[in-house]
Amino acid sequence: MTQQMSRRQFLKLSAGAMGGVAASEMAGLGFDATRVHARTHARQIKQGKEVPSVCPYCAVGCGQIVTVADGKILDIQGSYDSPINVGTLCTKGPLEALVTFQQFLVLADPEGQVDMTAEAISRRTTIPLGVIVVALAVAWQAGRGIPAEPTTATALLVQTNLPQQDVFDPLWVHNNPDEMQALEQLTRQAVAAQPSPPALVIWPEIPVSIYFNHDPVMRARLIALAQSTRAYFITGTIDYQPAGGERPDVFNSAVLLSPAGELVAQYDKMELVPFGEYLPAVGRLGFFQRMVREVSDFKPGRDYDVMPTAHGRLSIFICYEAIFPGQVRQFVAREGGAEVLVNISNDGWFGRSAAAAQHLNMARLRAVETRRFLLRSTNTGISAVIDPYGRIVARAPDHVRAALPVSFAPRQERSFYSRHGDWLPFICTLAVVAALGREFWAEALEEAIRQ
């Protein structure tokens, strides 16, 4: 029996499926990121339990880094984090191309009918699937010949491995002086073990609050650390600024200190985690507030800061900002943009699940798209240096306190994607709109003729 559906029915079915997947994904995003969930995670980690959950924010798209073939084209087309790709993670690139080709055949079918029998699907997919396999094989073989990227500078990535807190303690740093002293000692010893001072020393976003701009004792210690290491120093911090009301605006930030201990620049995180770092408008309804009353109330930053150093211009993005290709591109897009990218993150919320690896893979995509070295320092892992082709050059072991010396080089050339952004989905959208317009125009014309 021949199974056929009209072109319009097929498009409605596709739109409904995409909407349903997107809605379910967004629901997972919200509730999995709440601090209530995080407290449960922290207790499980303390009990030594394996936490089987994954990071809902960074599941989408991580499969695009599986092949060198993707690494060789993402600097042209970018990557797109549509929830519809959740089911095709490990083969996202090839399957997306195949599905797109199928949809094109639907729109281009002059009869307006879609034959959904197994035989018809096999006929339509054999040739494009073969082309995809050959293209991936050629790209993989070509990628094997790419030499290691030359480096001109060194950095020290400090993995702090501080414990997650069941209840936030703003005085934790002062109540646990031994922990901070151990981190400072580890940093100084690692720097002293190098033949020459590194260009950068990077501490991650951590689960306890450092108030660099408002805690004179901690600020003095960090300034002394930068001066003693004779390196540019980056660390996560919490900042707050007067807002004209009773409560100040609070920011999740990162600061860059010079080797002399002077504040060079500060970046305020722009893409906050919904239901984790802030409560979206819909979440302020009474039903949601009872469920997520422990959610933080951070404010988003506004500026794509590019920070000057003696070893090239750098930009910092924090935590799950690594999953946004359009945002990271902005750091590099303009003239005088970043020549090196730095990602600091606290992935301790994920425990020993696959989420930390997923988050790392998403960050690798940003290195490929912008053709920049990416220096990634995290609290519990995975801290690593990633080259402009998405290759992990060095990484620290997970869930241990470590200081990882790495090499990098500033790069000034801008990739096609850095200069032109999301051109591919724009063109695809225009093509779909044109095809749909042609279809509706033809139907309207036929109806007019019949009348």
CA-wise closest residue to 155 among 413, 358, 410, 411: 410
User: How far is 446 from 450, CA to CA, in rounded Å?
Assistant: 6
Q: Considering the candidates 269, 277, 299, 369, report the single residue annotated as catalytic.
A: 269
Q: Are residues 331 and 242 in the same domain?
A: yes
239 and 161 part of one domain: yes
Q: Give me the pLDDT at residue 63, please.
A: 46
> Is 269 noted as a catalytic residue in this protein?
yes
Query: Do residues 276 and 374 both lie within one domain?
Result: yes
Distances (CA, A) of 9 to 6, 41, 106, 107, 445: 5, 44, 11, 12, 20
Which of 110, 145, 180 finishes a domain?
145
- The pLDDT assigned to 200 comes to 95
Provide the pLDDT confidence category of residue 240 given band limits of 50, 70 and 90.
confident
Percent of all residues in the chain with a pLDDT value above 90, rounded to a whole number: 31
In this structure, is residue 423 part of a structural domain?
no
Candidates 364, 373, 375; CA nearest to 232 is 375
Q: Is the pLDDT of residue 203 over 60?
A: yes
Parallel, antiparallel or unpaired: strands 402-408 and 153-159: antiparallel
Concerning whether 46 is annotated as a catalytic residue, the answer is: no
Greatest mean pLDDT range, 75-79, 200-204, 245-249, 435-439: 200-204
CATH of the domain at 188: 3.60.110.10
Q: For residue 137, give the H/E element and its range.
A: helix 118-144
- Convert the pLDDT of each residue in 268-280 to its tens digit: 998 888 777 777 7
Element (H, E) at 342: strand 340-345
Extended beta strands in 15-136, E state: 113-115
Beta-bridged to residue 421, according to DSSP, are none
Least confident of 78-82, 180-184, 213-217, 398-402: 78-82
Residue 424 lies in a domain: no
pLDDT in tens, 73-128: 566 666 654 333 333 333 334 444 444 444 444 444 545 455 555 566 566 667 77
366-387: pLDDT as tens digits? 998 999 999 999 998 789 999 9
- Tokens in use for 243? 């807002």
Task: Based on the fold, state whether residues 139 and 198 are members of the same structural domain.
Answer: no
319 belongs to the catalytic site:
yes
Catalytic pick from 205, 321, 339, 369? 205
pTM over 0.75: no
184 and 109 share one domain: no
Q: Is the pLDDT of residue 306 over 90?
A: yes
The reply to whether 102 and 239 lie within a common domain is no
Segment 199-220 shows an average pLDDT of 88
Q: Which of 145, 161, 179 is a domain's end point? A: 145
Q: Number of structural domains, the chain?
A: 2
Residue 160 DSSP SS3: coil
* Catalytic, out of 271, 299, 319, 339: 319
Domain assignment present for residue 419? The answer is no
Taking residues 353-370, report their average pLDDT: 88
Q: Are residues 97 and 217 in the same domain?
A: no
> Which residue from 369, 380, 367 is spatially nearest to 408, judged by alpha carbons?
367
Which percentage of the chain shows pLDDT scores above 70?
Answer: 67
Q: Please, what is the average pLDDT of the chain?
A: 75
**CB of 305 within 8 A of CB of 266?**
yes
What is the chain's Cα-based Rg? Answer: 25
Domain that holds residue 281: 153-413
Does 45 map to a domain? no
Q: Are residues 175 and 294 in the same domain?
A: yes
Give the CA distances from residue 146 to residues 64, 390, 391, in Å, rounded to whole numbers and listed in that order: 19, 12, 11
Asked if residue 71 has pLDDT above 80, the reply is no
Per-residue pLDDT, 32? 36
Same domain, 172 and 89: no
For 182-213, give one letter per residue: b (16+ CB within 10 A) or e. ebbebbeebbeeeeebbbbbbbbbbbbbbbbb
User: Six-digit token pair at 171?
Assistant: 């005085």
- For residues 241 and 362, membership in a common domain is answered with yes
Is residue 319 in some structural domain? yes
Q: Are residues 192 and 281 in the same domain?
A: yes
Same domain (yes/no): 81, 159: no
Range ranked top by mean pLDDT from 37-46, 61-70, 287-296: 287-296
